[in-house]
Chain A
C-alpha cells in the first residue's frame, strides 16, 4: 500500500516538473528541470519493479542527455524569445487532441490485471522456460539479448546511425574546428 502512495507522490511531482518546464523562459533552467524529470521517471520505474528501465532512464535521461543539452547551450544563445500571445487556433487543436486521447484511454486495459494481453501472450513461456533454455537469472537480459536478438541488433544499428548522422552534421574535423558553428566572441 505504501508503494501506491509513493507512486501517487512521484506522479504528482512529475506533473509539477512538466508544468515548470513549460513555464520557463530560460533554456538553462529548462535543461536542469528536464534532468529532474528524468530522475523522477527513473524512481517511478523502480517503484514499478522495472529496474533495468530505471537504470537506463537514470543514466541516459538524467545523465548523458543533460550533458549534451548543456553542450548545445554553450554553442547557442540560451535566452528564449518570450512570446506571450495566446493562439486560439493552437488552443483549439490542443483541446481536440486532448479529448481524443482521453477518449482513447477507455480502451486501454486496466493497470496490472492478470488477464491483460501483455501477460497472457508470451510472458509465461519466458518466465517458465528461460531458466532452462538460456540459464541466466536476469529475465530482461535473456529476452533482450537472446529471444529478441534481432531487435537489439536493430537498436545498436540505430545508435550507430545516430552517431554517424551527428558526425555528418556537426563533425568539425576537416575545417580545424571552425567554420560550421558561428558564435559571438565571448
Chain B
C-alpha cells in the first residue's frame, strides 16, 4: 500500500507516538490504569500498522520472525527468573519481598520486572499471530 501517500505519511507520524504511549502504559501501570498486557497489545499494534501500510515483506525485514519467536519465550523467562531469584534470596517462588533489603522496594522491583516480561511476551505473540494470519 506504499502508493497511498496520505496513509504512509500519517503512519510515519503515528507509529512513534503509539510506541511511546505503549511504554507509558507499561511503566505507568503502577499508578494508573494499564500494565504489561495492555502495553504489549498497543506496542504490537504499532508494528501491525507498519505491516499494513508498508507491506508484510518490509515488516519481516524489520522484525525477523525467528527473532520475535525467541522474544516471546524470553518474556516468560523474565517472569520465571524473578520467581527463581526470590527462591535464591531465601523465600518462596515469586515472593518479591526478598528482592531487596526493604520489602516495599522489593515489591516495586518485582512488579516492574514481571510486567516487563508480560509486555514482551504479549507484544511478540501478537506479532507472531499477525505474521501467521496476514497474507504474505
Binding site for B on A (CB under 8 A): 51-52, 54-56, 59-60, 63-64, 67-68, 71-72, 74-75, 133-138, 140-142, 144-146, 149-150, 152-153, 155-157, 159-160, 162-163, 166-167, 169-173, 177
Contacts and interface: CB of A to CB of B under 8 A. Distances in A.
Contacts of A74: 134-135
Contacts of A173: 65
Given A157-B76, A160-B76, A150 B136 contact: no
B119 to A, nearest CB: 10
B33 A138 contact: yes
B110 A64 contact: no
Contacts of A163: 72, 124-125, 128-129
Given A71-B134, A136-B108, A156-B118, 7 more contacts: A52-B33, A55-B38, A56-B37, A68-B133, A138-B29, A146-B110, A156-B122
Contact of B48 (A67, A136, A167, A170): A67
A157 B83 CA distance: 14
Where chain A touches its partner, the secondary structure class is helix
The 10 lowest CB-CB distance pairs between A and B, nearest first, are A71-B133, A163-B125, A51-B33, A135-B104, A170-B132, A136-B30, A149-B94, A59-B41, A177-B136, A145-B111
B121 A159 contact: yes
Contacts of A52: 33-35, 38
Nearest to A50: B33
Interface centre among A54, A144, A150, A157 (most CB of B within 10 A): A144
Interface in B23-68: 25, 29-35, 37-38, 41-42, 44-45, 48, 52, 65
Contacts of A72: 133
Interface string B96-129: 1000000110011011001101100110111011
